[in-house]
Chains A and B, each alone.
Chain A
């Protein structure tokens, strides 16, 4: 848990951070609050290792990332007070206290649960395009 790759010359890390997310560090565990219910589950209990994860935090800013749909798992996180009523069926939407009202950003997490990149939708697209084409 103390092992981190930030600061190392790795091609699969873009040095970047926002809030509790820092590229090169392990993806933090979070409570994912199911909208319109009292149910919540832990992130690490909700994923299995082996796929890239994309967290679109604060707004559904992932249109350009849909071409990576079959190689990523998308989560949309909103602050608990701001979870939208309607979704377009893309990704899984949850409330989370780590989403800061007014802030939006995208996090790409690698299959080993280490964070690869934190930034805008364009940053996430750029990161994923270095690995996946099409």
Chain B
């Protein structure tokens, strides 16, 4: 949100976070901002059944979640751009450490798609 998170304007994408291109995270982060925002705006506009506090919770949770994410993205891009002054190995090391944001594959893999139990004759992973 604008005004350091207390304002009335939703910001997303490059309007919300500016950083160097390293890591190629800008587009994904903007798309993810939109993904986090779209259901919130729908809920706020439809407004049915919301509690009196819900609008603030819905709005400012967007700031809490996406601002913190954006800060991490900016930090990774900054680390990478500084690594361009060092070895390729260091650069790649930083990419690997931040794989969760850059490649979409988290450093700790998420739980695998649960396989069907063999008794059901189903697909095994």
Which residues on A are within 8 Å of B, measured CB to CB? Answer: 1-3, 5, 8-13, 20, 25-26, 28-31, 33, 38, 40, 42, 49-50, 71, 80-81, 95-98, 110-112, 129-134
Shortest Cβ distance from residue A106 to the other chain B in the assembled complex, whole angstroms: 18
Write the residues of chain B forming the contact surface with A, with a CB cutoff of 8 angstroms.
Answer: 32, 35-36, 39, 42-43, 49-51, 53-54, 56-58, 60-61, 64-65, 68-69, 99-101, 104-107, 110-111, 113-117, 119-123
Residues A130 and B57 in contact, CB atoms below 8 Å apart: yes
From B57, B58, B107, B114, A2 is in contact (CB under 8 Å) with B107
| Contact present for B60 and A11 (CB under 8 Å) | yes
- A11 CA to B5 CA, complexed, in Å: 14
Inter-subunit contact B68/A8 (CB<8 Å)? yes
In the complex, the answer to whether A31 meets B100 with C-beta atoms within 8 Å is: no
B105→A29 contact, CB < 8 A: no
Note all chain B residues with C-beta closer than 8 A to A26.
110
Contact of A1 with B114 in the complex, beta carbons under 8 Å? no
Which residues of A lie under 8 Å from residue B120 when comparing CB positions?
33, 38, 40, 80, 95
Considering the chains assembled together, what is the distance between the CA atoms of A13 and B111 in angstroms?
21
A10 near B61 with CB under 8 A, answer yes
Q: Which residues of B contact A40 (CB under 8 A)?
A: 116, 120, 122-123
B-side contacts of A11, CB under 8 Å: 56-57, 60-61, 64
Known contacts: A8-B68, A11-B61, A112-B39. The answer to whether A129 contacts B51 by CB under 8 A is yes
Chain A residues near B99 (CB-CB < 8 A)? 2
List 9 A–B pairs whose Cβ atoms lie within 8 Å, in order of A's numbering: A1-B110, A3-B101, A12-B58, A33-B116, A40-B122, A42-B113, A97-B117, A112-B39, A131-B51
Q: Decide: A2 and B113 in contact? CB cutoff 8 A.
A: no
Contact A30 B114 (CB under 8 A): yes
Distance from A51 Cβ to chain B, minimum over Cβ atoms (Å): 9
A residues less than 8 Å from B58 (CB atoms): 12, 131
Bound complex: CA of A96 vs CA of B51, how far in Å? 34
